[in-house]
Every structure is written in C-alpha cells, then in structure tokens.
Chains A and B, each alone.
Chain A
C-alpha cells in the first residue's frame, strides 16, 4: 500500500513538471505580444515597447525565462498581471472561492441525483422507470452546457422569476442570496456528471446484483434494502469512482462557460479575460492551477479506491 502511494505521488510530480513546461510553451506560441499590450496601444513607439519588453523580462532567452518563472512560482510568487499590475495570487485569491463553491455544489448535485437514480434504474431495469431515466440522462449528456444554462435562466428566472438570472452574491452579503445564485450554475455544471454517474452506476449495479455474494446476502435473510445498500451499492460504486474523478477534472474546463453564462466572477471568467488581453502571467498561473487541481483530483480518486476496495489496499 505504501509502495502504491509513493509510486502514485512520484507520477503526480512528473505530470506536474510536464504541465509547467507545456503551459510555458503554450504562452510563447500564443498570438499577441504582451509587451505591446503593456506599452498601451498599436501606436506606441518602438522604444516604449522595448522598455516594456525589458520590464517584463521578455528579452531574455526562453530557458532563462522558464527557470525564473518556475523559481518564483515555487516561492509562491506568480508575478503581476501585465494588464492591471495586481499580483496574480491576489487576483486568484479573490476569485477562487466563487469557482470552488460552484464546483462543490455541482458535485453534490451530481452525486445526490446520479446515485439514487442509478440504483433505481438498475432495480427497475427495462421498465418505463428505467427508460425515463435513460432519456433524461442522455438529454443531460447531449445538451451543451451553455444551452442548458440559458434554458434554465429562461424558465426559472425569466418566466417563473424564482431565481436570479445571473451574478454572484458573496455569502457575507447574504447566505440565502448566495445559495439561490448557486442553484442554476451548479445544476448546469453538474448535470453531465449526474447523467454519467447514473448510467455507469446502473450498469455496474446490474452486474453486481447478479453476483453470488448478493445471493449469499439474501440467503442469510438480509432485507432487500440491506442487500442493495450494504452489499450491492458499495461494490457497484467502485467503477463509478473513476468516472466521478475523471468527470470532476473535466468540470473545471466547463466552469469557464458556466461563469460566463451566469456572470460569475470566478477563475473561469478571469482566465477568459486574461486570454483576450494577452495577460500571460495570469493565463500561465491559471492554466497551471487548473492542471494541478485536475492532477490532484486524479490522485485523490486513486487513493479513494483503497478505501472502497480492500483488494487494492492489500495488493
């Protein structure tokens, strides 16, 4: 078990290093010149642009730039936004809570909906209940998020007026308002995961229900709910954990769309604006952060296997 953990951690470190290199190279090949953006406008004089370039450290060779960037990052210094001259860490610190909140609610929504629906569809496999579930799930996967988001806004805000159409209220200015604002973004972001959890759980549940140990449990006199919850579900969740892990990673990509559609001042919106403004330090830090989070989620997924599946724990 320790061997597995150590191996897994080393892999994570290698992945993270590759991510920093790719992020750095990507920013080099992006069109647009940060020096130009920094100097002001198209009409800036050559001298002004050169001064800006020097000021930003862009006149140095690439490996030097990379080493400096890495070195600074390891000490927690992600530089200043080339546009606003505000420290990148500060920008992220302001916006991270918004993104995390949406993400957490999306995952809670996905699990709270996907797991019970998956179990129910398996128990009523090939009946109208199961078919209805499948139709909803397929719709959830097939519909683009921005479209789903706009549909929700149309129905819940414009027609029914139950929820605010967009915007973000910090919890400090009203917890209830904050939660109301989270409903639609979380649903929009989480629906794909909910659908996939449901489909995957349905099929693994069906498989597990045919296993002999489920029959053993019934032969012991365990009640049907005990058979399903204690004996079948725990086993059926093992493959689902992978899906959840992979999907949460991809959710972070989807969050850019969500934050734009619902005008939420989170990381996604920050990243999009920074890309449009050639604000390289912010883009680099943002991409890196997303990559780190995804890598860590994968790590957590693998480690969580050990808690669910004793066969891996003792391997």
Chain B
C-alpha cells in the first residue's frame, strides 16, 4: 500500500495547484470573508507545493525498508525528479519575481520622491501634481503612499482618509509579500497550467481587505463614495480587459461580512495543508 502514496501525493499536488484554484476562483461567496479566503488561497498554494516536494520523501521508505528495494529504485528516481523539478522552479521563480519587483519598486519610488510633493502631515505620503485622480502604494523598504492632486481636489476629507487608510492597510499588513508569494507560485507553474483568474481573484480579495480598513477609518458610505468618485473620474480610460474591481468591491461593502463562509474557508485551509503532511506520515509508518 505504501507504494501508492507518492502517486497520491503527486495527484494531490496537481489537484491543489490546478483544479482547486479554478474551482475557488468561481466561488464568489468566498469574497465575503476576504481574510479567511486569503488564508484558504495560501493554504491551497502551500499544500500544492508541499505535496509536490514531499513526493520524493514519501517514496523513500519503499527503497529503505521495502521487500524488494531494487524494484522501487525507479519509482524513487521519478519521485525525486518531480520534487526536484518543483523545488528548482520555485527557487528560480522566487529569485526572478523578487528581483524584478524590488527593482521596479525602488526605481519608481526614487522617481516619485523627486517629482512629487511631500505631504507635511503624513511622512509616507507623496502628492503627484496631476489632475487625474489616482492613488496607490509603493510597498517594500521605505514604502510610500502616492496620491495625485486630482484626488486631493475631488474628495472631501473623510473620503480622502478612506483612500489613504486603504493604501496604508496594504503596507501595514504587508499585502505585497502575500501577492509576491502568489506571484512566485504562479510563475513556478508551467505556463499552460497557470491560472490568471486565480491571481486576479487573490488581488481582489486583498483589495476587499484593504477596503475594510478604509471602512474602519471613515465608514462604509465614505469608502463607497471614494470608490465611485475615483471610478467616475477615470472611466473614459477604460480598465484593462473586462472592467474594474469597483462594482464587486462596492457590492461587498453593501453586503457586509459573512461568518459562516469564513468558518468554511478556514476549515478548507486546514485540510489543504494537512493532507500532504498526513500522507507523508502514512508513508513512513
């Protein structure tokens, strides 16, 4: 029976890396519990990676204490190849993605520091002298919140506070690390199996989470108004592809949080990480 476990682990890896994300991206209800949903996404990703990496260790007992060790050497080699390839892809992807993001952020931050005005009250905030409303953050060391003069001119104080609170929530909760982790995992998957949808779903959840920080600061109405105001002033440029995240996020503000969804997501997350570990334990007993 032990000989089946490496195969099962490899299958679990495929399920968690490929099938589960596709199914999860379709579960709109998860969005009502963004924190728990993000934990579930991380768990599925970690679980998939674990399952792949543990395929070789799970095949080891076949050779070490099997009746006919030589017969199983081939299996071990295949399992080792699978685990090794996944490890290599992850390391390479981690290095490439990390380097790229750090360089891009640092360059952009340097530029913004030179061309933008510094906010006297808020040390992290930079103001670009431009009428088009925009707001974003540059994560990393020496993080910045960047807003344009257009935002300052268009939004009343409570809505402006909501926008800044949203961006600061990204920085304080280190959402950049979260997104970087998903980006690394995404790029480690061979191109035909990558799911853009999974990545944009995760991005939406991160935004929904930051929106909650904005709500805590300025209330639901001010947060919703800020979203609509910025969407309206940017509407002519059109979003890339199929619309922006604004309608969904507004709907989430209207719907409010959902406890039951949250509980299900945490349960699912626990399962996704435990299954590979349990399988390894079984292989070694």
> Do A and B truly interact?
no
Q: Contact residues of B with A, CB < 8 Å?
A: none
